[in-house]
Every structure is written in C-alpha cells, then in structure tokens.
Amino acid sequence: MTRQKILITGASSGLGAGMARAFAAQGRDLALCARRVERLEELKAEILDKHPYAKVAIAALDVDDHEAIPRVFNELSEELGGIDRVIVNAGIGKGWPLGQGKPWANKATINTNLISGMVQIETALEMFHKAGGGHLVLISSVLGNTGVPGGKAAYCASKAGMTSLGESLRAEYDKGPIRITVIEPGYIESEMTAKSATTLLMVDNETGVRAMVAAIEKEKGRAVVPSWPWAPLTQIMRLLPPKYTKRFA
C-alpha cells in the first residue's frame, strides 16, 4: 500500500528533514511540523524547487505544547485532505549525569521524547480510527535496548519507553487497517549526533535516511537501521554487562 500523505514531526532538520526529502522524491504529499518554522519554510522551498508539483504543508509545532498537537495535526490533515502515515520523530538529546544537580535536562528529554511522543501517538491513532486506517511510525533508537552511563541515561530511558509503547501497540493492532512500525536508528549524522562524543559506527545522513525510509515503506513491525551492523549489535547490547555500555556513550 502506498501511503501518499505523510505527516512528520521534528521535520526542520536531521532525520526528519532527510525523510521529508526522500518521500518528496517519491512523489508523496507532506505535512511537516517543527518548532523552527523558518527552517520548515526553507525545506519547503528546497523541495518545491526540485519537485515543483509536490504538495507540502508546514506548521509550527512545539510537541511539548500538548494541547497544540491535535490542533496542528488536524489542520495539516485538512490542508492535505487526510493523513495516511504519521511519523513521530520529534526528539531531543539533552542530558546530564543523574545526581549531579541538573535534573531539568533529564526531565526535558523524558518529557519531549516520551510524554510528548505519547500525545502524538494518541492524536494519530484517533485520526486513523476516524479515517478507517493509517500507518503509525515511532522513531526510537538502538540505545533503547540498553542503558548508557552519564549524560545519556535519560535519553536511553526515553527511547526504551518509546519502543515499549510501540511493542504494546503492535500487539494491539496486530491485524487490521492500522499498522504500527518501530524504527530504531543506529548512529546517523544529524544535529543531535553532532553533539555526541562518539563517532562509533556513524553513517552519513543520506545512507541512514535511505535505510529508515526503506524500512518504513515495508511497514515492518520493528526495524533496526542500518541493519548492518546494528541489527546484530543490538542483540549484543542487551546482553552486555553495564560496565561495557559506556562504549556507546
């Protein structure tokens, strides 16, 4: 099934912008939202320059404004004439070692990546129930499979929570017109990973996004991307003693 009308949150940069470009190249209609609307305007202009007949709707959205999520989703849906796929992508990578006096950084990460993600999930599923179907995609992380010491502890916890929500939804919607996909990216070049101290197995944005889009299009229940080497690595990560997970910090 071709999902023609795709909504992507956190679309102003990184993986969100990369997916927008890739889907536009496939002739899909796009509903893009993010906090930085000026970035969205630049992305829209770039896409229309390459694909003049593309349909691109944009809207400012801070996903931490939970009351705004249903309003913005529905406005974008009305502009495009419906939404077939929602990609819950918006996220942040703030963090500080627990117990060292900066709980606000960890609270922000848990709130944006998990709580705000859950509100997006609620809104998307309500839309799909009314429309009679749709494809919900949750962007998690390979780090949701383990804990990492230091400043990434809250990030790992938030992504573990997102993966768990996705697995629960996969069980609930194992059959029928609503499909659920959990995507677990490895280290892919983006604004978020640029702040990371590690370049372990990092792939460029284009390669990573290509793998993400391919998995999304297949509507797999759960996919680690790029599959090599991250699919076997995630199995190992689940078994590693905690002292060794610092290699992924």
- The catalytic site residues sit at 155
Mean pLDDT, range 119-142, rounded to an integer:
97
* Model confidence at 87: pLDDT above 90: yes
The answer to whether 92 touches 114, Cβ cutoff 8 Å, is no
What are the tens digits of pLDDT across the range 148-174? Answer: 888 889 999 999 999 999 999 999 999
User: Confidence class of residue 41 from pLDDT cuts 50, 70 and 90?
Assistant: very high
Q: Render the burial of 206-224: b for 16+ CB within 10 Å, e for the rest.
A: eebbbbbbebbbeeebbbb
User: Are the CB atoms for 114 and 122 separated by under 8 Å?
Assistant: no
Q: Which of 139-143, 166-170, 189-193 has the lowest mean pLDDT?
A: 189-193
Specify the pLDDT at position 121: 98
pLDDT band per the 50, 70, 90 thresholds, residue 244 = confident
The confidence score (pLDDT) of residue 192 equals 59
| pLDDT at residue number 241 | 77
Pinpoint the alpha helices (H) of the chain: 14-25, 37-50, 68-80, 103-110, 116-131, 153-172, 191-194, 205-218, 227-239
Q: What is the pLDDT of residue 68?
A: 98
Angle at 224 between CA 94 and CA 36, to 5 degrees: 40
In this predicted structure, the answer to whether residue 77 has a pLDDT above a threshold of 60 is yes
Structural domains of the chain, count: 1
Tokens of 160: 């573990």
Residue 15 structure tokens = 């993986």
> Residue 131 maps to which CATH number?
3.40.50.720
Q: Say whether pLDDT at 242 is over 80.
A: no
- The span from the CA of 43 to the CA of 227, in Å, is 28
Instruction: Render pLDDT for 200-240 as a digit per residue (tens, 0 to 9).
Output: 677 888 999 999 999 999 999 999 998 888 888 888 888 87
The whole-model pTM stands at 0.92
- List phi, psi (to 5°) of 152: -95, 5
Q: What is the pLDDT of residue 228?
A: 83
* pLDDT of res. 198: 55
Q: Which domain holds residue 40?
A: 5-248
User: Residue 121 has which token pair?
Assistant: 């999930």
Listing DSSP states for 138-181 in one string gives: EE--GGGGS--SGGGHHHHHHHHHHHHHHHHHHHHTSSSSEEEE
pLDDT(120) > 90: yes
CA distance 213 to 219: 10
pLDDT band at 191 (very low <50, low <70, confident <90, very high): low
